[in-house]
Amino acid sequence: MRHNASIAAWDGDAPMWVLDTNVVLDWLVFDDPAMQQASAWLRSGRALWLATDAMREEALEVAARPVFARHGRAADMCARIAAAYGDHARMLPPAVATNLRCADQDDQLFVDLALGQRATLLLTRDRALLALAAAARIRGLSIARPQDVPWALQGQARMVSGRHAFAEACPAALGPDDHGDTQRDQRQR
């Protein structure tokens, strides 16, 4: 495993995060403002990004699709993504399957890695993953969209039994309803 400054700076107390493919692209290709604070945490080592080779390969494959050509040359985008995985992600072997099952089998690898490594946060915009938020919260994992957790990125999460309690700090921002929308989405309607 390659050790870099942000991973080397991680002292074991920082939260461990898993980012799904769309969030990685939002961060590294689209410069989504919702990812600015998360990016600062990940780049500085205040949070540790956990990933697998399969996650990296999926991100590279998606970034190379012709639909993204207007955002830059595919080779440049793939190089930026590969560099970020090399510089900021702790690359791990594939995770063992867990009993929390995602309706979209293609997203199961994110759930398995997050639960298997006892990550505190899975950042996603995917409805199938967000639908697991309540069940994941019981297991110590918060599943949320980047824009729903600014309080966590501002250092407002509490430590409970050695783990960040994102869900306890702001439960109204996290739990999906029966339709897969977050409660915050419902309030904005």
For each of the domains in the chain, give its residue range(s) and CATH number, in order of start.
14-188 (3.40.50.1010)
Tokens describing residue 35: 């990812």
- DSSP H helices, 12-121, are 21-28, 36-44, 53-63, 74-88, 108-116
The CA distance from 20 to 141, in Å, is: 14
In 3-state terms, what secondary structure has residue 122? strand
The average pLDDT across 116-124 equals 95
**For the segment 42-52, what is each residue's pLDDT rounded down to a tens digit?**
988 889 999 99
Q: What is the pLDDT of residue 101?
A: 97
**For the segment 80-92, what is each residue's pLDDT rounded down to a tens digit?**
999 999 999 999 9
In the chain, helix, strand, coil percent, each to 5?
50, 15, 35
pTM: 0.77
Is 173 a residue whose pLDDT tops 90?
no
Q: Which residue has the higher pLDDT, 79 or 171?
A: 79
Tokens describing residue 93: 């072997």
The CA distance from 167 to 138, in Å, is: 9
**For the segment 1-47, what is each residue's pLDDT rounded down to a tens digit?**
343 434 444 456 789 999 999 999 999 988 999 998 889 889 888 89
Q: What is the pLDDT of residue 150?
A: 66
